Amino acid sequence: MIPRSCLLELPKTDLHVHLDGSLRLSSLIELAAARGVALPSHTEDGLNELVFKESYANLSEYLQGFAYTCAVLRDEESLERAAYELAWDNLEEGVCYVEVRFAPQLHMGWGLSYQQVLRAVDAGLARARREHEASEAVSEQDHPPFRYGIIVCALRMFTPAFSAWYQTLIQVMGEAPRESVYATASLELARAAVRVRDEGVPIVGFDLAGEEAGYPAETHIEAFQHAHEHFLAKTVHAGEAYGPESIFQAVTDLHADRLGHGYHLFAAELIRAGVEDREAYVSALAQYVADRRITIEVCITSNLQTNPGIGSVERHAFRDMLDAQLSATLCTDNRLVSHTTVTREYELAVQAFDMSPSQLRNTIVYGFKRSFFWGSYPDKRAYVRKVIDRYDAVAKKHGLER
């Protein structure tokens, strides 16, 4: 068995972590008090009992906590603080590369622009990066420097309660069909993401998040085409709460380079209609994903919480992904809402699936190689080489043989 001490020390990534789902609980309480945001409890124990639970009935209950976290992340100071603390929470467990994602529209309720929201998050991450690079860990112990990117999330749907920004959009568009409103919102965000990226903010990817059932990816084709034409990488939440068709739409209609969750990739029984041989469809889809090295951002704890029917870690589809030798890497999704860390996700997988040292190395290295790295390709290669050298040194120290 690979010990926790080794997993903690190994360099790791988190390619799928939501800023608004990963606040420190103490910071949420403090920010809420300072900004007059009502919480169901003002103690950590109380919030963990009422909101941020160990288990949830379904995805709807899981998402309830975001109403509180988004409510306190609507000014530049709070956004910068949350990003800064998230960076250090990762660094303290050996995570040296992160791609932080969030939906900027949900943080524009107090008059902030896209640029202000994105620059505030960048400022927090950059401050942590500078501090880490000045530390002994980098200068004397040869740890890899901290690197990061920002992924902006378009949303499959909004409700009026989400933000004042949405209310304004509804007023502008009047009686337009809701699908048109969602499409317009996504396209506006894609344009803003490209524009702010070109101003120097490390926006590395475009995402589609939100409820899958009833809100198909095809509504957002124009937005993803804009991202595609402007060389912005794409990742899509797909196969989390819907079947293989959602993944098919992500990799075809939206040009997805990576898949968020991808849990139901092999779930032939969830294919809705129009497919005669469901097993053949799933096999072909998995082959398509594998051939193109479309990396799956696996979130074990989050999937267990939003899909209670899974039952146990041992029944998670990551086992099928390992067996199929897919490019898959482990992520947290939401550190606060899921009460997890990257190290804990690897602990769960190592124990449940008896991962070999080779499987562990591949899974971690995929995270670095398939990252949407901010910088040139030679820069990325040099960084990944440094990480792999560090990984192999730590593995040798702990007696891990590939």
Measured between alpha carbons, how far is 320 from 316 in angstroms, rounded to an integer?
8
pLDDT higher than 90, residue 13 = yes
Range with the lowest mean pLDDT among 8-17, 25-34, 55-64, 304-313?
55-64
Tell me the C-alpha distance between 368 and 148, whole Å: 11
Q: What is the pLDDT of residue 173?
A: 54
Q: pLDDT per residue over 127-176, tens digit each? A: 999 999 999 888 877 899 999 999 999 999 876 555 555 555 555 555 55
How do residues 199-231 score in pLDDT, each as one tens digit? 999 999 999 998 888 888 999 999 999 999 999
- d(CA 286, CA 40) in angstroms, rounded, equals 43
121-136 pLDDT tens trace: 999 999 999 999 999 8
Which element (helix H / strand E) includes 18? strand 12-18
Give residue limits of the domains in the chain. Answer: 4-397
Which residue spans within 47-169 are E strands per DSSP? 95-102, 147-155
Quote the CA–CA distance of 195 and 256 in Å, as a whole number. 20
Active site residue 240: yes
Of 99, 212, 240, 345, which residue is the catalytic one?
240
Looking at CATH, the fold of the domain delimited by 4-397 is given as: TIM Barrel (3.20.20)
pLDDT digits (tens, 9 = 90+) for 319-377: 999 999 999 999 999 999 999 999 999 999 999 999 999 999 999 999 999 999 999 99
Give residue 294's pLDDT. Answer: 98
Strands 328-330 and 12-18: unpaired
Mean pLDDT (the chain) is 92
